Amino acid sequence: MKKLYKPIGLVAIMLFSFYYTEKIASIMQNKSPIMQSINEVEESYVVNATNASVDSNYIVPGIMGRMVNKTKSYVNMKAFGIFNEYYLIFDDVKPDISLEDNKDKVIKEGNKSKKAVTLLLEDGNETIKKYLKDNKIKANLLILESTYENGSFFEQINNDKEKYKNVESLLNKNNQNKNICYIKEIAKEYCIKEQKYLVEETFSLGGNNIVEAKAKIDSGAIILIKKNANLEHLKLLIKEINFKGLSIIPLSELISEK
């Protein structure tokens, strides 16, 4: 029995030594002028998270908050031996009500604070695709297996209800899968099972509804560009988007809480 006590005692001493060393290091760190400076500016860099807005079956994504990671910031600055706000390191703060916990809800618009909209294209209108590509306007493209392109200019969304798994494999293989389901074509229940983000458009542009479409433009809008849309109408729509001070960004960015 005495032989057993000896190794147990050594382990206990080692554990206490580690704890004591860590405690001393923490005290010394907190007394450091660098850490004291970090403590002084910490509050000024705090950004509160914005909760997602849930209304029945729909959700508007929230926005992550931000806080200073004091330990990582201290280690970062210690290497230079001086406090510099440029080297502060931050952690994201998840909203209390988050899209990530409500993936069974449908996203019909992004958070308005992003001051942006998304163009979601039905495939088949090569004139519109060429115009957007030539003018470097990022958009999303609803694709089938037959229209998938590796390295496409557009952010591609699986819209092939017949060969959905094949398209998923292609997107996954090339790290292009944004895990977004356009539920007008793909069954909502299947998308929920696969843990996808459920999306539908805020409004659409097609035929001769340009006047109505322009009136609906607002930050967060997901705009479906139908394959029968007129290029001149699209140009007018983009002009109105720019006039309202909105950016055009990919759908994955619009719905992201970062």
Confidence (pLDDT) at 81: 86
* Residue 85 in tokens: 């706000």
Confidence (pLDDT) at 37: 92
The model carries a pTM of 0.83
Confidence (pLDDT) at 31: 63
Confidence (pLDDT) at 22: 47
* Residue 255 in tokens: 């719905």
The full length of the chain comes to 258
Confidence (pLDDT) at 29: 58
Q: Any idea of the CA torsion for 130, 123, 201, 65, to the nearest 10 degrees?
A: -60
Q: At what angle do helices 33-41 and 2-31 cross, to 10 degrees?
A: 70
Give the pLDDT of the chain (258 residues) as one tens digit per residue. Answer: 545 445 554 444 554 444 444 444 455 556 688 999 999 999 999 999 999 999 999 999 999 999 999 999 999 998 888 999 999 999 999 999 999 999 999 999 999 999 999 999 999 999 999 999 999 999 999 999 999 999 999 999 999 999 999 999 999 999 999 999 999 989 999 999 999 999 999 999 998 899 999 999 999 999 999 999 999 999 999 999 999 999 999 999 999 999
Confidence (pLDDT) at 157: 97
* Residue 161 in tokens: 């209800």
Q: Which residue has the tokens 């147990």?
A: 8
- Tally of CB atoms within 10 A around 99: 21
Please give the full DSSP string across 105-167, using - where no structure is assigned: SEESB--GGG-EEEEEEETT-HHHHHHHHHTT---EEEE-GGG--TT-SSEEEE--SSSHHHH
- Backbone CA torsion sign across 247, 253, 254, 258: negative
